[in-house]
Amino acid sequence: EGMAPPQRILFPPEKICMAWQQRQRPGAGLHNLGNTCFLNSVLQCLTYTPPLANYLLSREHGRSCRQQGFCMMCVMEAHVNKVLHSSASAIQPWTVVNVLTRIGEHFQVGMQEDAHEFLRYTVDAMQRARLSGSSDLDISSQATTIIHQIFGGSLRSRVTCLSCKAISDTYEAFLDIPLDIKAASSLNEALEDFVKPEQLDGENGYKCSK
């Protein structure tokens, strides 16, 4: 509602399968390579996200990728296939560790980093990889990558004038939502608090154009 339809569909939503497409035994664990527990925990979460894993196991990306040099989708495709096809009890995640500074230039091998920050940078790097070579795409089309359809969405910020009832909407794409979990007893409660209406007045008030 209110958003322009995408000019191009980069990945058909009907091809995204939310359940595992094949019966999958637990894959290999990950060795800690020296303060890489933040990285390992995020990789395990992403590896066992069914719609992402289904796509990466199909190797569809690797067959069509034309990106020169670093590509986070290729890195994750190699990692997930190695983990889920390995007969070992644990593997060393060098595939990802070796490109740590390409994921986020401030990340340093051997240093303990924030897991949530690493997750955000990794998902963002996968989104950029899927948009590679498509710099002229409109915002709505950018939201049709498989990454954005799995992890993202759009936020609508609506301002309603209390006097004339005029409505002003702005939209912003997101790949994650910052929720205050300390002030809530459940995920639903945290989401409800996030979208709770707020009355703006005083110095925070807007001057209505009408």
pLDDT at 135: 72
pLDDT digits (tens, 9 = 90+) for 26-36: 999 999 999 99
Predicted pLDDT of residue 209: 79
Structure token digits, residue 193 = 């608090």
Angle of CA points 196, 202, 208, to nearest 5°? 80
**Residue 94 or residue 207, greater confidence:** 94
What does pTM read for this prediction? 0.87
Mean pLDDT within 61-80 = 94
Mean pLDDT of 137-145: 92
Q: Locate tokens 């060393």: which residue?
A: 92
Cβ-Cβ contacts under 8 Å for 125 (sequence gap 6 or more): 72, 102, 103
Please tell me the least confidently modeled range out of 21-25, 66-70, 121-125.
Answer: 21-25
Task: Report how far Cα 29 is from the mean position of its chain's Cα atoms.
Answer: 23
Strands 167-174 and 153-160: antiparallel
pLDDT at position 136: 84
Q: Nearest CA to 10 among 142, 104, 200?
A: 142
pLDDT at 65 (0 to 100): 92
pLDDT digits (tens, 9 = 90+) for 72-103: 999 999 999 999 999 999 999 999 999 999 99
Q: Is the pLDDT of residue 134 over 80?
A: no
Q: Which residues of 78-105 are buried (b: 16+ CB within 10 A; e: fewer)?
A: ebbbbbbeeeeeebebebbbebbeebbe
In the predicted model, what is the mean pLDDT of residues 7-30?
92
What is the rounded average pLDDT for all residues in the chain?
A: 93
